[in-house]
Amino acid sequence: MSLADYPLVRHWIGTDGDRLVIRTGKVDIGQRISSALARIAHEELSLPLERIEVAPVTTAGLDEGITSGSLSIEHSGSALRAAAATLRAHVTDLAVARSGGTPKDWSWQDGTLTRPGLNRPLPVLALIAEADPDLAADPTLAPQPPAATAPHMRGISDLVTGRYTFLPDLDLPGMRHARVLRPPHARATLEALDDSAAEKLADRDIRLIRDGSFLALAGPDEWAVTKALATLAAACTWDTPPLPEDDVFARLTAETARRFPVTGGVPAEGPVRAPLEDTLTKARFERPYLLHAALAPSAALAEWDGAALRIRSHSQGIHALRDSIATSLDLPADAVEITHHPNAGCYGHNGADDAALDAALIARAIPGTPILLKYTRADEHGWEPFAPAMALDLAARLVNGQIEAIDAEVFSDTHRGRPRAGANDAGPRRLLSNRFRDPAWPAPEAAPNMNRHGGMHRNLDPAYTIPEKRLIKNLVAGLPHRTSALRCLGNTTNIFGLESLMDMLAEEAGQDPFAFRRVHLDDPRSIAVLDRLEALARDTPRAMGHGIAFAQYKNAMTRTAVAVDIDLTDASEIRLRRAIVVADAGRVIDPEGLAAQLEGGFLQGASIALHEEITWDRGGITSRDWDSYPVLRFDNVPEITVEIIADPGNPPAGAGEATPGPAIAAIANALCDATGLRMFRTPFTPDALTRAALAG
């Protein structure tokens, strides 16, 4: 896709003095895409890594859409590989034309080209600078062999020594710090504001910015602005209709949904078949609303010079965000430029885009002044777009020890809340503060994601060979909270349910969980992953409970098998003892980065399984800190073994979202192995386990 949009070598590769410059539209949010791209250029062009730079990702550069879906290597990496391979062939031809020989005579090493009989090697970068500017990348060229050694993550020394500058650390001359005062909850509006508040704040050199119910403060001293929020809050009167407190899972039903049959991972408009008959095994699996729970709250920096707006944001979709902010402020798109700047952030649609609009609104009110806006932890927890609550109804028919038919219906609100182009100004309507401005931008109606394995139906279609499948996507709108994409989208709930069901059916069939899964797989690579996990798990000392799970992300990307060993304390707390992850991600570009993704995904899945759930009452969100929204702590991180099955003959497969789903399922299966309790809703807290035990 990316190469079709940007077909020339110069779109992807350039030079800057003694350095090669890589260009990309994919942002680095900890998935190490910049390290992987540098390694691709290193492999293809034989340049030392220290002479390869990755240009900042900006809206003035390549537009590769949103960095999501584990597609960075597939899109940006494959395009860069084609551009670099083409450049290698072209530069070799330039060397032949300049100094003779044939292309086979020339060898590449450490940034130079040489051949037998040549006294002085030719510098690669100098030849690259002479390349034809209209040279088109050729994706059919064979890649160079993988590099023998794996580099460390780019910038790792600054990260571990504390020298790295995240977005909230920026400090520009004349900069003002800003904070937003949010209403009590999303349905509240400002009824009145004491006029004397602005005068009191002005005496402290703090500027009040108001647009309808949007309220913000900006001043030169960050702590003074933070304290002044209390003064502003005391001056406000809010109209606060209560939030609904009914059971959200009771609303996730076919009667409340728009329904779409799914075939081959793709939903479609059309009639919905009746449920399968004579199904013997049925279960409903549920997941509550979740937070992204980024380590650092969202932030943005913006400056308006009277004609153009420059923003630094940790958004994963800066081009769509630029267009949405431009429309929000009635500006042409070319009057807004956004540069990606990392935060200690997350995967998925957290508060980054909202913070960028907030900073832009404040910067427009104070021209010529850099505005650094930071959210508090309570802001982030209370106002980021949540992962929607989900439910998965499963039923299966077992005949002679094999699954003959499966019925799967998934229910949730939209997972698609990012600002993006669309009808009826969908981008601006998805930005939080636009809903409180005057006039307010109404929230858009939830539209179904009809992409292959998109949204809630991601991995709804089992990766197993099953003769008959009935798969239904159910979009339920009008639920209590604003929702959007969390890492893996519907995959975590669907794999939790499907892999729990596989264990239930294996027990019913009287088969070992490994053997039962193997019977239903016809993909040799998937079977190899499962076989290797079984061999490793066999040699691992068993704890109280042992569970496994298998998944192939989107049924097309990384194949992953996970085994987990757990113990249970007297207080019914699950303790993770050991975890084994085996993965086949095709050709591996950055082995350390891949292992880090697999480990990190396991830990996020474990956190969702054991702890995470948003809570609220009539007055608003109540899970506003790490006590009310706990996540996995270091004292429950298990010993993790990651084994990667290298497969250089196949293209790289996305791995950033491969492990959270099977991690949740493996923990659920281990818990059932340890206690006999089959858990159908996350999180598996001590209270939840006690209720399940009492319910029998």
CATH of the domain at 577: 3.30.365.10
Confidence label for 42 from pLDDT (cuts 50, 70 and 90):
very high
Question: Which sign does the torsion angle of CA 451, 457, 459, 460 carry?
Answer: negative
The reply to whether 482 and 562 lie within a common domain is: yes
Residue 252 lies in a domain: no
Together in a domain, 207 and 92: no
Helix (H) or strand (E) holding 290: none
Dihedral of CA atoms 392, 655, 530, 536 in degrees, nearest 10, equals -120
In tens, the pLDDT along 72-120 reads 888 999 999 999 999 999 999 999 999 999 999 999 999 999 999 888 9
Mean pLDDT, rounded, for 327-347: 94
In percent, how much of the chain has pLDDT > 90? 87
- pLDDT value at residue 181: 98
Q: Can you list the positions of beta strands (E) in 314-367?
A: 336-340
Q: What CA–CA distance (Å, rounded) separates 272 from 322?
A: 39
Q: Is 84 in the same domain as 199?
A: no
460 and 578: one domain? Answer: yes
The phi-psi region of residue 77 (left if phi > 0; otherwise alpha if psi is between -120 and 50; otherwise beta) is: alpha
* Residue pLDDT, tens place only, 373-417: 999 999 999 999 999 999 999 999 999 999 999 999 999 999 999
Share of the chain above pLDDT 70, in %: 99
Question: HSE of 591 in the Cβ direction (CA atoms, 13 Å)?
Answer: 13
329 pLDDT higher than 80: yes
Same domain membership, residue 204 and residue 131: no
| 199 pLDDT more than 80 | yes
Kindly report which listed range (59-68, 308-317, 358-367) carries the lowest average pLDDT score: 59-68
351 part of a folded domain:
no
- How many CA atoms, within 13 angstroms, populate the side-chain half-sphere of residue 10? 9
Tracing tokens 């937003």 back to the chain, one arrives at 180
CA 563 to chain centre: 23
Task: Give yes or no: residues 94 and 224 share one domain.
Answer: no
Three-state SS at 667: helix
Q: Is the pLDDT of residue 437 over 90?
A: yes
Sequence-distant (6+) residues with CB within 8 A of 606 are 576, 579, 632, 636, 638, 663, 664, 667
Q: Are residues 407 and 534 in the same domain?
A: yes
Average pLDDT over residues 576-590: 95
**16 is a domain residue:** yes
666: confidence class by pLDDT, cuts 50, 70, 90 = very high
Q: Positive or negative CA dihedral for 418, 419, 420, 423?
A: positive
pLDDT of residue 596: 93
Is position 487 within any domain?
yes
Reported confidence tier of residue 423, pLDDT bands at 50, 70, 90: low
- Looking at 239, 256, 277, which one is the last position of a domain? 239
Last residue of a domain, one of 207, 239, 271: 239
218, 126: one domain: no
Is pLDDT at 182 greater than 80 in this prediction? Answer: yes
Same domain flag for 563 and 621: yes
**Residue 631: what pLDDT?**
98
- What the block records as the tokens of 254 is 């076919």
438 in the Ramachandran plot: left (φ > 0), alpha (ψ -120 to 50) or beta? beta
Instruction: For residue 484, count CB atoms less than 10 angstroms from its CB and return exposed for 0-12, middle for 13-18, buried for 19 or more.
Output: buried
Q: How far apart, in whole angstroms, are the C-alpha atoms of residue 459 and residue 636?
A: 28
How high is the pLDDT of residue 542? 77
Q: DSSP code of 486?
A: B
Mean pLDDT in residue range 229-252: 95
Contact 279, 405 (CB under 8 A): yes
Domain of residue 200: give its range.
189-239
Q: Select from 621, 260, 609, 279 the least CA-distant residue to 411.
A: 260
pLDDT at residue number 197: 85
One domain, residues 551 and 628:
yes
Q: How far apart are alpha carbons 143 and 587 in whole angstroms? A: 11
3-state DSSP call for residue 608? Answer: helix
- Tokens in use for 353? 């885009």
Residue 273 lies in a domain: no
Could you say which of 85, 118, 144 is where a domain stops? Answer: 144
What local confidence, expressed as pLDDT, does residue 320 receive? 95
Q: Which residues contact 267 (CB under 8 A, 6 or more apart)?
A: 260, 261, 448, 449, 450, 457, 473
Are 206 and 134 members of one domain?
A: no
**Alpha-carbon distance 507 to 229, whole Å?**
58
pTM of structure = 0.95
**Average of per-residue pLDDT across 141-159:** 83
Residue 673 within a domain: yes
Q: How confident is the model over 586-603, as pLDDT tens digits? A: 999 888 999 999 999 999
Q: What's the Cα-to-Cα distance from 392 to each of 199, 409, 415, 469, rounded to whole Å?
A: 55, 6, 15, 15
Identify each DSSP E strand in 289-375 by its residue range: 299-304, 309-313, 336-340, 371-374
Same domain, 86 and 229: no
Q: Tell me the average pLDDT of the chain.
A: 95
What is the rounded CA–CA span in Å between residue 184 and residue 619? 7
Residue 622 lies in a domain: yes
- 625-659 per-position pLDDT tens digit: 999 999 999 999 999 999 999 888 899 998 999 99
- Report if residue 220 sits inside a domain: yes
Q: How many domains, the chain?
A: 3
How far is CA 216 from each of CA 105, 379, 388, rounded to the nearest angstrom?
66, 13, 28
Identity at 158, one-letter amino acid code: D
Question: How many other C-beta atoms are found inside a 10 Å radius of the C-beta of residue 29?
Answer: 22
